Amino acid sequence: MMKYFFICMAILLIPIKSYAAPPVFEILIKDHLFYPDELVIPADTKVKLLIKNQDATPEEFESYELNREKVIPGNTQAIIFVGPLKPGTYPFFGEFFPKTAQGRIIVKESGK
């Protein structure tokens, strides 16, 4: 029963999956800080965030405004898709070290 359910889900999902490679933006986590802590991305575009955690400790990338959460174990990297977004500021933080790990994504219309 479960098997068919997943097969059906997978079939349903195929047409919506887009194949154009989205632009990649890198964010580093080092000493519980994000580098850069302010990232500018284009509006109305899906982007791929490549987050490299260079600390030995795990971190959780979290943003209420972007509706994203992902645990990134120490010394590993993770990808998170965001957008397409409207112009604006979208804060994000590291849930495990929220005092220092703070950043924001600034979405700007391209050409401005």
Partner 1 sequence: MLLNSVILVLREVLEAAMVVSLFMAFTTVSQQARSFLLKAILLGLIAGGAYAYFLPEISNWLEGVGQEITNTIIHIGIYVFLMGFLWLISRDIVLPNRLVKGMMMAAIILAISRESAEIMLYISGFRSDHFLLQSVVSGSLIGLSIGVSCGIFLYHLMIALKPAAAAKFICVLVVIVGSSMMSQATQFLIQADWLASTEPVWDSSHIISEHSLPGQLLYALMAYEATPTWSQIIIYLTSLLLMLIVILSGRFSRAISHV
Q: Which region among 23-31, 34-42, 74-82, 104-112 touches partner 1 (by CB under 8 A)?
A: 74-82
Q: Convert 30-42 to b/e letters by CB count within 10 Å (16 or more is b).
A: eebebeeeebebb
State in angstroms the smallest separation of the CB of 36 from partner 1. Answer: 21
CA 100 – CA 5 distance, rounded (Å): 43
Please give the residues from 31 up to 60 whose contact with partner 1 meets the rule CB under 8 A.
46, 56-58, 60
* Site membership for partner 1, residue 87 (CB under 8 A): no
Does residue number 65 form part of the binding site for partner 1 (CB under 8 A)?
yes
Sites of contact with partner 1 (CB under 8 A) = 2, 5, 13, 16-18, 46, 56-58, 60, 64-65, 67-74, 76, 78-84, 86, 95-99
